[in-house]
């Protein structure tokens, strides 16, 4: 486990520990307080001060997780692959499509596994939406609205996500935007164009308020909202189909449950959460008039269970690494659109303005 910040401490290590067939062998962190917490929570696990110290250790290689700041994903994942490790990279896969493609080629050349941690494919509301689409209850999906909004009007001192520029790996677009874009592409396929607005409302170096409008070849569209300064939070999902609509409210509880030390196998994990609800609406109904639906339990543990099987050559990686490249292509086009104020086409011979 390389990195013991939010991603490593809250998400990856607890999920790895809960996965039969995986053993947490070492944690890398150069932060003294984090190293102390890691040693207390995982006695017997080696806690090393540097990534280089891990690579110098003798013994068999296995699965290495890169959960360090975004600008380190490419060099550390590439070094791990060159050292013979299978690799999980916390999102984003890298800082650009080209960097992601470098990692994919390196893994392919060495016959190793590479995946990106798009854990929000296993959010309960996203699973519910996917199930309704698969059952045909929504009909053809025409408009998808997806939001990840918070009210954090002040910058957090010491947060690299807020202090680093987008070019250095900071900002909401790379952070939460990677998840929302991946979810949209899972549901609607490859977009053909994008219009975006990216703003820095709190005076930091990175964007903290984003709007993306994606258009797809079949005419469907997706509107993504990301904000740290949303004084009023909208529905997490609003999916409009030709037979009906789905609205969900509130954030998946798994992150908060993991923060509180709840294990993925404990009763109630992935369920509940403040303000969470889902509503099915027939055509013509408005919010509040529909039928309440039970939200699906979230299943982040599925990611590492699938990864364990893949390492044992018993299945595919839970997320194909190319998905990380596809999200970066959208992010790259979104930045072009925000700079130009124009719609930017995606795919084909490259991004172009229209």
What does pLDDT average to over the chain?
94
Q: How confident is the model at residue 75, as a pLDDT? A: 97
Q: How confident is the model at residue 350, as a pLDDT? A: 47
CA distance 297 to 253: 9
Q: What is the mean pLDDT of residues 332-341?
A: 97
| Span 248-295, pLDDT tens digits | 999 999 999 999 999 999 999 999 988 899 999 987 888 888 999 999
> DSSP string covering 70-81, please?
GGGHHHHHHHHH
Q: What is the largest CA-CA distance in the chain?
A: 65
Asked whether residue 183 carries a pLDDT value surpassing 70, the answer given is: yes
- 34-38, 230-234, 243-247, 282-286: which range is least confident on average? 282-286
- List all residues 6 or more positions away from 353 whose beta carbon is below 8 Å from its beta carbon: 336, 337, 340, 342, 343, 344, 345
Q: How far is CA 14 from CA 31, 106, 269, 297, 300, in A?
A: 19, 28, 13, 18, 11
User: Residue 354's pLDDT band (boundaries 50, 70, 90)?
Assistant: very low
- 7-16, 157-166, 181-190: which range is least confident on average? 157-166
Asked whether residue 349 carries a pLDDT value surpassing 60, the answer given is: no
Question: Could you tell me the pTM of the whole model?
Answer: 0.94
Where on the phi/psi map is residue 171: left (φ > 0), alpha (ψ -120 to 50), or beta?
left
For the sheet containing 86-90, what is the strand order? Answer: 63-66, 86-90, 114-117
Domains of the chain (ranges, CATH numbers): 6-117 (3.40.50.720), 120-299 (3.30.360.10)
User: Residue 348's pLDDT band (boundaries 50, 70, 90)?
Assistant: low
């Amino acid at each position: 486990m390389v990195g013991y910040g939010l991603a490593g401490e809250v998400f990856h290590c607890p999920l790895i520990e809960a996965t039969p067939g995986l053993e947490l062998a070492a944690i890398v962190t150069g932060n003294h307080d984090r190293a102390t917490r890691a040693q207390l929570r995982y006695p017997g696990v080696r806690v090393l001060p540097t990534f280089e110290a891990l690579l110098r250790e003798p013994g068999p290689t296995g699965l290495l997780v890169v959960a360090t700041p975004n600008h380190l994903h490419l060099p550390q994942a590439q070094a791990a692959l060159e050292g013979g490790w299978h690799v999980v990279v916390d999102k984003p896969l890298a800082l650009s499509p080209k960097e992601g493609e470098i990692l994919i080629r390196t893994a392919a050349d060495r016959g190793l596994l590479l995946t990106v941690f798009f854990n929000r494919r296993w959010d309960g509301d996203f699973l519910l939406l996917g199930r309704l689409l698969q059952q045909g209850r929504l009909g053809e999906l025409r408009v998808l609205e997806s939001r990840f909004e918070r009210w954090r009007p002040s910058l957090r001192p010491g947060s690299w996500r807020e202090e680093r520029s987008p070019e250095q790996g900071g900002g909401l677009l790379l952070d939460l935007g990677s998840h929302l874009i991946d979810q949209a592409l899972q549901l609607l396929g490859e977009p053909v164009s994008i219009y975006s607005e990216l703003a820095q409302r709190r005076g930091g170096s990175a964007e903290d308020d984003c709007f993306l409008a994606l258009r797809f070849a079949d005419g469907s569209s997706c509107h993504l909202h990301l904000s740290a300064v949303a004084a009023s939070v909208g529905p997490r999902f609003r999916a409009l189909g030709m037979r009906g609509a789905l609205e969900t409210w509130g954030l998946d509880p798994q992150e908060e449950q993991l923060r509180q030390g709840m294990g993925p196998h404990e009763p109630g994990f992935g369920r509940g959460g403040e303000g969470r609800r889902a509503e099915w609406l027939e055509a013509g109904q408005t919010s509040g008039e529909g039928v309440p639906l039970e939200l699906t339990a979230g299943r982040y543990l599925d990611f590492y269970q699938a990864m364990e099987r893949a390492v044992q050559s018993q299945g595919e990686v839970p997320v194909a690494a190319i998905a990380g490249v596809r999200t970066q292509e959208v992010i790259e086009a979104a930045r072009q659109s925000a700079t130009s104020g124009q719609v930017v086409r995606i795919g084909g011979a490259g991004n172009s303005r229209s």
